[in-house]
């Protein structure tokens, strides 16, 4: 498929997980892709062939602005932005420290604001464009002990709606995808934190989380990337301001299960 031939895309959080899968898919479909992010530690994934990799801390607004200008200058413009950078910290409102709270919102929410804000002039110059933000089902429903994370994801959906309305006149579409559990380095790290730290115990926990989804498993990053690519491309040309669940039926299911 050459759906993105001639398009230039930036993917934040593009070194691992959903961001990496999206960068690979957009590149395979013809886009010139710049993956921006901070290399993960233990779960470092190999660089993608054919994709430009640039280290970026999305909480640094000046660095984010420079990235956008450098990409537009090098490749003649910008057409697609995928904001996939995100971190997870666990804790209730009572347990979460100010530092943890600020860290999560700085990356998940303010970091997304930075890339969107500075990409918009370049997208406007094209007279069109697409922004896709990776949010979460936790923008709608909340598990226990994720006060900062769920707040950031709910705010992302509201931010996307606002940008979608403001930029519609400029031909720019803004949407979010809202995955449930996805088998990413971040999920694996969480699984190790709640077990004895071994890969085997983490695998068992990931599988148990998967069984909580009606489809009976967690998602693969590539499955979420397909939804991102759809919203980023021309097949979704009349879609803006939506939050698309990619959740294995999680939001459709009731917690009460009948016996038998």
Check which CATH number belongs to the domain holding 17 and give it: 3.40.50.720
Is 1 a domain residue? no
CA dist., res. 170 & res. 191, Å (int):
43
82 and 194 co-located in one domain: no
Of 55, 79, 63, 62, residue with least CA distance to 132: 79
48 and 82 co-located in one domain: yes
Residues designated catalytic:
149
72 and 103 co-located in one domain: yes
57 and 161 co-located in one domain: yes
Is 256 a domain residue? no
**pLDDT by residue, tens only, the chain of 260 residues:** 589 999 999 999 999 999 999 999 999 999 999 999 997 655 567 889 999 999 999 999 999 999 999 999 999 999 999 999 999 999 999 999 999 999 999 999 999 999 999 999 999 999 999 999 999 999 999 999 999 999 999 999 999 999 999 999 999 999 999 999 999 988 888 889 889 989 999 999 889 999 999 999 999 999 999 999 999 999 999 999 999 999 999 999 988 877 87
Provide the residue range defining the domain that includes 52. 8-180+220-245
Contact 88, 146 (CB under 8 A): yes
Is 257 a domain residue? no
Contact 109, 153 (CB under 8 A): no
Q: Helix, strand, coil shares of the chain as percentages rounded to 5?
A: 45, 15, 35
How far is residue 232 from each of residues 22, 68, 83, 166, measured CA to CA in Å? Answer: 10, 18, 11, 18
Is 259 a domain residue? no
């Amino acid at each position: 498929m050459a759906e993105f031939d001639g398009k230039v895309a930036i993917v934040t959080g593009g070194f691992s997980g959903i961001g990496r899968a999206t960068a690979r898919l957009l590149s395979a479909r013809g886009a010139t892709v710049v993956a921006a992010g901070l290399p993960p530690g233990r779960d470092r994934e190999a660089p993608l062939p054919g994709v430009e990799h640039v280290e970026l801390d999305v909480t640094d607004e000046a660095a984010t602005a420079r990235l956008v200008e450098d990409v537009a200058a090098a490749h003649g413009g910008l057409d697609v932005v995928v904001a996939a950078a995100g971190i997870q910290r666990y804790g209730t409102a009572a347990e979460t420290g100010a530092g943890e709270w600020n860290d999560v919102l700085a990356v998940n929410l303010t970091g997304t604001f930075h890339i969107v804000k500075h990409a918009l002039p370049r997208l406007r110059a094209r007279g069109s464009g697409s922004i896709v933000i990776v949010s979460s089902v936790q923008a709608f429903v909340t598990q226990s002990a994720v006060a900062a994370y769920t707040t950031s994801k709910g705010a992302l959906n509201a931010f996307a709606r606002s940008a979608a309305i403001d930029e519609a006149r400029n031909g720019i579409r803004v949407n979010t995808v809202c995955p449930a559990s996805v088998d990413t380095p971040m999920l694996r790290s969480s699984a190790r934190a709640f077990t004895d730290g071994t890969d085997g115990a983490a695998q068992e926990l990931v599988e148990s989380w998967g069984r909580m989804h009606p489809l009976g498993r967690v998602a693969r990053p590539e499955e979420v990337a397909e939804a991102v690519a759809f919203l980023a491309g021309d097949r979704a040309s009349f879609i803006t301001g939506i939050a698309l669940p990619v959740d294995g039926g999680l939001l459709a299911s009731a917690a009460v299960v009948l016996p038998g």
